[in-house]
């Protein structure tokens, strides 16, 4: 019975409608209270579902968070491409046209441009090796 309550709690913490319905049905069935499913108590289930569901959208990033994520993504790509991590600090990311934009010219003339969605999902990581010839 304790395990069923734990399942119900985890379903409520990260809810999906099916998980909550399943957890509630299991608790009621095991505790011998199947008749409650047909009684007026069933009216409370929609209230539980409404209060437990979230918008499903991650929280937007701050400029500092976007900068740190962009540095990490730029270094990950630079490690694969150039076998080094040239980006360690830099200017904050800018929020432009609904997404984060971060650019930096690192040592060795490697330029990174990272675009992130407002929630931090990666849109694009571009590295350019700047060939400066005179």
> In angstroms, what CA-CA distances link 53 with 3, 25, 26, 27, 119?
22, 18, 20, 20, 19
- Tell whether 47 and 84 lie within a shared domain: no
Residue 134 lies in a domain: no
Residue 84 lies in a domain: yes
Minimum mean pLDDT range among 31-35, 72-76, 116-120: 31-35
Close Cβ partners of 31 (under 8 Å, ≥ 6 residues apart): 1
Rounded distance between C-alpha atoms, residue 28 and residue 69, angstroms: 45
**Is the model's pTM score more than 0.85?**
no
- Tell whether 102 and 71 lie within a shared domain: yes
Q: H-type helices in the chain, by residue range? A: 2-13, 17-30, 44-52, 63-82
- Tell whether 37 and 71 lie within a shared domain: no
Average pLDDT, the chain: 75
Q: What is the pLDDT of residue 21?
A: 58
Specify the number of domains making up the chain. Answer: 2
- Please give the structure tokens belonging to residue 45: 């289930």
100: domain range?
63-129
Q: What is the pLDDT of residue 3?
A: 59
- Tell whether 74 and 99 lie within a shared domain: yes
Residue 74 lies in a domain: yes
Q: What is the pLDDT of residue 130?
A: 86
Residue 15 lies in a domain: yes
Q: What is the pLDDT of residue 40?
A: 45
- Please give the structure tokens belonging to residue 40: 């007026």
- Tell whether 45 and 70 lie within a shared domain: no
Q: What is the pLDDT of residue 2?
A: 52
Residue 24 lies in a domain: yes
Residue 38 lies in a domain: yes
Rounded distance between C-alpha atoms, residue 120 and residue 66, angstroms: 7
- Please give the structure tokens belonging to residue 52: 């437990």
Q: What is the pLDDT of residue 79?
A: 95
- pLDDT tens digits along 76-129: 999 999 999 999 988 899 999 999 999 999 988 899 999 999 998 888 999 999
- Tell whether 35 and 8 lie within a shared domain: yes
- Tell whether 73 and 112 lie within a shared domain: yes
Residue 39 confidence (pLDDT) above 80: no
Provide the percentage of residues in the chain whose pLDDT is more than 70.
54
User: Span 22-50, mean pLDDT?
Assistant: 54
Decide if 34 contacts 28 (C-beta within 8 A): yes
Give per-residue burial for 89-112: e unless 16+ CB within 10 Å, then b.
ebeebebeeebbbbbbebeeebeb
């Amino acid at each position: 019975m304790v395990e069923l309550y734990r399942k119900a709690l985890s379903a409520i913490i990260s809810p999906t409608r099916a998980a909550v319905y399943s957890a509630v049905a299991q608790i009621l069935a095991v505790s011998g209270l199947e008749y409650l499913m047909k009684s007026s108590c069933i009216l409370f289930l929609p209230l539980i579902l409404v209060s437990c569901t979230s918008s499903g959208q991650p929280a937007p990033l701050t400029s500092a968070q976007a900068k740190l994520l962009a540095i990490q993504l730029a270094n990950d790509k630079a490690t694969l491409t150039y076998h080094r991590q040239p980006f360690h600090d830099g200017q904050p990311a800018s929020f432009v046209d609904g997404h984060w934009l971060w650019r930096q010219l690192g040592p060795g003339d490697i330029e990174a441009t990272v675009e992130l969605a407002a929630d931090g999902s990666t849109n694009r990581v571009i590295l350019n090796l700047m060939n400066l010839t005179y």
